[in-house]
A and B are shown apart, each in its own frame.
Chain A
Amino acid sequence: MTKIFETPLYAYKRSKDQGAGAPIRHKVVIIGAGPVGLAMGIDLAQEGIETVIIDDNDKVSFGSRAICFAKRPLEILDRLGCGQPMVDKGVEWDVGKVFFDDREVYKFDLLPEEGHQRPAFVNLQQYYFEEYLVNRVRELEAAGAPIEIRGGNKVTAIGTHDDHVTLEIDTQEGSYNLEAEWLIPCDGAGSPTRKMLGLDFVGRVFEDNFLIADVIMEADFPTERWFWFDPPFNKGQSALLHKQPDGVWRIDLQLGWDIDKEEEKKPENVIPRLKAMLGDDVQFELEWVSIYTFQCRRMEAFRHGRVMFAGDAAHQVSPFGARGANSGLQDTDNLAWKLKLVMEGKAPDSLLDSYNAERVHGAEENILNSSRSTDFITPKSEMSRLLRDAVLDLSEHHEFARPLVNSGRLSVPCTYDGSPLNSSDALDGPARTRPGSACPDVPLGDDYLLPKLGGKFTLLTIDADAPDMVEEDGITVARLALSVKDDKSGALKARYMGDATSAVYLIRPDQHVAARRPNYDDNLFRAAIRRATGKE
């Protein structure tokens, strides 16, 4: 059977730009057709912005790679018109088990909060994730949206100018030049673009190797996340077992620093390790094996004039917590609407600096969390290991120690506290919806709140009066009028009102809160709209 990741999905085709007399100038060029580049392209093309995605390859991700997709990125994908296939195919899970040495120390249930359209997580191989994004690109193309993927196109040189970027691109038919008003490199942790521009990428190296094996097996393991600290089958190291669709299981084995990677990757060495873990009688087939090391680092600035980096190209984290692809999608969510307003002349160029401020803040949070998980999983000193083992020993019998066990703090959206786009909080409401927060979903009869917010500025009123439409300096804000009575579960009140009896929220196109007050005040909300678009 040919796997989807072996099939060219955007094979090289000669484009009309090749052989054009002078370089053709495009609105936006994205480098890299991975999860982040594709999501970025879809977001812009849906808004009618002409976008070309360039990739030196022609296939989706080889091997499963990123497998755990969190609620917020799924909500973003809903806005991009392709959340449903991800959820339909993905495996949902709630239960995790933690093992220490030869025993199960405890079991947890994520107990996902009710009243959200999307689950807390789905497990889905990156190749499916990318395939569904490519399908969405094809759907948009067919509907006449200005988007194009150019496979087999490799960027070899970049020139930056005040009002555009020039690119030299290599193909099997030779090289050609093109220009872009804006360039968005999403070309991964090893970003060739970053290197071509001579930009920094500083952080912490972790001296460790992990073996990833995706195995196909007919096994009765439940759909749970199992994590072992110091198991008998991998002494002194860690292990992870996690289910993916199609009977594929992700197995992650820590190997330590001083190993021969090529040797360890050989099936004759991998298979005995897996048998020791799974038992001799379990039948399995290897789908993909890889060894990875990781670093936690980021660029000092994600924006460099007309070039805006997104995803792993801008920031890299350890895999614990699934904060890589998930945070990359939040980058695109943050950038798309800002770029659109700037391109349309409806917001000043400086609005794009807030992309840098907000997403650097997000990257810092992700790096902090994933570094802490890594330090717990692979203690760096004897005392660190003693404390870690003490936590695990106590966790077997005492609930208090369990929050200290850290095998990955799973990705949650970053709150942009202190963002220059926020207005000060004027509602005595819940902290989770303070300015800067990503809006939590709420059930509304047969529907949900987030699809109603969509991707435009919204004035959400809950038991409060306001004009149906506010227009401020080119920004149109439509009202969504709700009452706490619209949600019998009480989630709308709990998540957006708290003790308040009325509330008015200004919500950004990326569904983050910009401002909130108990009542509509024309002057103050107009100021909030200006602030949220970089005009104050």
Chain B
Amino acid sequence: MTDLILTPNIDGADDFYAELLTAHDGLSKEDSDALNARLVLVLANHIGDRKAISQAIKTAKLGR
């Protein structure tokens, strides 16, 4: 079990962000939402660590 990484951890942050935006190019809002949902599931599986995933969910809720 590892703690969620909340410091910069992606080399080439701008490239990553551009790739993410490009993936949404030309999609309807509905299709974009679906893409994001699939992406969350794929990434969560890659992380695997339940504790980290729980912390990630809490972080994304902005403490609310």
Q: Is A354 an interface residue (CB 8 A)?
A: no
Q: Is B3 an interface residue (CB 8 A)?
A: no
From 345 to 376 in chain A, residues with beta carbon under 8 angstroms from any chain B beta carbon are 369, 372, 375-376
Contact A403 B21 (CB under 8 A): no
Residues in A neighbouring B29, C-beta threshold 8 A: 382-383
Q: Is A409 an interface residue (CB 8 A)?
A: yes
The smallest C-beta distance from A364 to any residue of chain B, in angstroms, reads 14
Residues in A neighbouring B18, C-beta threshold 8 A: 372, 375
Q: Is A15 an interface residue (CB 8 A)?
A: no
Q: Which of A383, A384, A387, A403 is in CB contact (< 8 Å) with B13?
A: A403
- Complex Cα gap A409–B15 (Å): 13
Residues in A neighbouring B8, C-beta threshold 8 A: 399-400, 402-403
Contact A383 B24 (CB under 8 A): yes
Q: A383-B24, A384-B24 are in contact. Are A406 and B17 (CB under 8 A)?
A: yes
Contact B14 A372 (CB under 8 A): yes
Contact with B along A387-399 (1 / 0, CB 8 A): 1000101100111
Residues in B neighbouring A398, C-beta threshold 8 A: 6, 59
- Complex Cα gap A318–B8 (Å): 27
Q: Which of A381, A394, A399 is in CB contact (< 8 Å) with B24?
A: A381
The smallest C-beta distance from B24 to any residue of chain A, in angstroms, reads 5
Q: A372-B17, A372-B18, A404-B13 are in contact. Are A393 and B5 (CB under 8 A)?
A: no
Q: A383-B27, A383-B29, A384-B21 are in contact. Are A400 and B9 (CB under 8 A)?
A: yes
- Complex Cα gap A403–B9 (Å): 10
Contact A375 B14 (CB under 8 A): no
Residues in A neighbouring B62, C-beta threshold 8 A: 393-394, 397
- Complex Cα gap A381–B5 (Å): 29
Residues in B neighbouring A393, C-beta threshold 8 A: 62
From B14, which residue of chain A is reached at the shortest CB distance? A372
Contact B17 A399 (CB under 8 A): no
The smallest C-beta distance from A488 to any residue of chain B, in angstroms, reads 31
Contact B6 A400 (CB under 8 A): yes
Q: Which of B9, B21, B27, B59 is in CB contact (< 8 Å) with A394?
A: B59
The smallest C-beta distance from A460 to any residue of chain B, in angstroms, reads 30
Contact B14 A369 (CB under 8 A): yes
Residues in A neighbouring B60, C-beta threshold 8 A: 394
- Complex Cα gap A387–B23 (Å): 12
Q: Is B54 an interface residue (CB 8 A)?
A: no
- Complex Cα gap A383–B27 (Å): 9
Q: Is B2 an interface residue (CB 8 A)?
A: no
The smallest C-beta distance from A398 to any residue of chain B, in angstroms, reads 5
- Complex Cα gap A403–B20 (Å): 15
Contact with A along B5-45 (1 / 0, CB 8 A): 11111100110111011001001010011001000000000
Residues in A neighbouring B33, C-beta threshold 8 A: 383
Q: Which of B5, B14, B63 is in CB contact (< 8 Å) with A400?
A: B5
Residues in B neighbouring A372, C-beta threshold 8 A: 14, 17-18
Q: A383-B24, A394-B59 are in contact. Are A406 and B6 (CB under 8 A)?
A: no
The smallest C-beta distance from B48 to any residue of chain A, in angstroms, reads 19
The smallest C-beta distance from A393 to any residue of chain B, in angstroms, reads 6
- Complex Cα gap A372–B21 (Å): 10
From B21, which residue of chain A is reached at the shortest CB distance? A384
Contact A404 B17 (CB under 8 A): yes
Contact B7 A399 (CB under 8 A): yes
Contact A399 B6 (CB under 8 A): yes
Q: Which of A387, A394, A406, A409 is in CB contact (< 8 Å) with B20?
A: A387
- Complex Cα gap A399–B36 (Å): 22
The smallest C-beta distance from A356 to any residue of chain B, in angstroms, reads 26
The smallest C-beta distance from B64 to any residue of chain A, in angstroms, reads 11
Contact B7 A383 (CB under 8 A): no
Contact A406 B27 (CB under 8 A): no
Residues in B neighbouring A403, C-beta threshold 8 A: 8, 10, 13
- Complex Cα gap A372–B32 (Å): 20
Residues in B neighbouring A409, C-beta threshold 8 A: 14
Residues in A neighbouring B36, C-beta threshold 8 A: 383
The smallest C-beta distance from A303 to any residue of chain B, in angstroms, reads 30
Contact with A along B46-64 (1 / 0, CB 8 A): 0000000000000110110
Q: A399-B8, A400-B6, A403-B8 are in contact. Are A375 and B21 (CB under 8 A)?
A: yes
Contacts A381-B32, A393-B62, A394-B59 supplied; 19 other A-B pairs, CB < 8 Å: A369-B14, A375-B18, A376-B17, A383-B36, A384-B21, A384-B24, A387-B17, A387-B24, A394-B60, A394-B62, A398-B59, A399-B7, A399-B8, A400-B6, A400-B9, A403-B10, A404-B16, A404-B17, A409-B14
**8 nearest A-B residue pairs (beta carbon):** A403-B13, A383-B32, A398-B6, A383-B24, A403-B8, A399-B7, A400-B6, A400-B8
Jot down 29 A-B pairs with beta carbons below 8 A, ordered by A: A369-B14, A372-B14, A375-B18, A375-B21, A381-B32, A382-B29, A382-B32, A383-B27, A383-B32, A383-B33, A384-B24, A387-B17, A387-B20, A387-B21, A393-B62, A394-B59, A394-B62, A397-B62, A399-B6, A399-B7, A399-B8, A400-B5, A400-B6, A400-B7, A403-B8, A403-B10, A404-B16, A406-B14, A406-B17
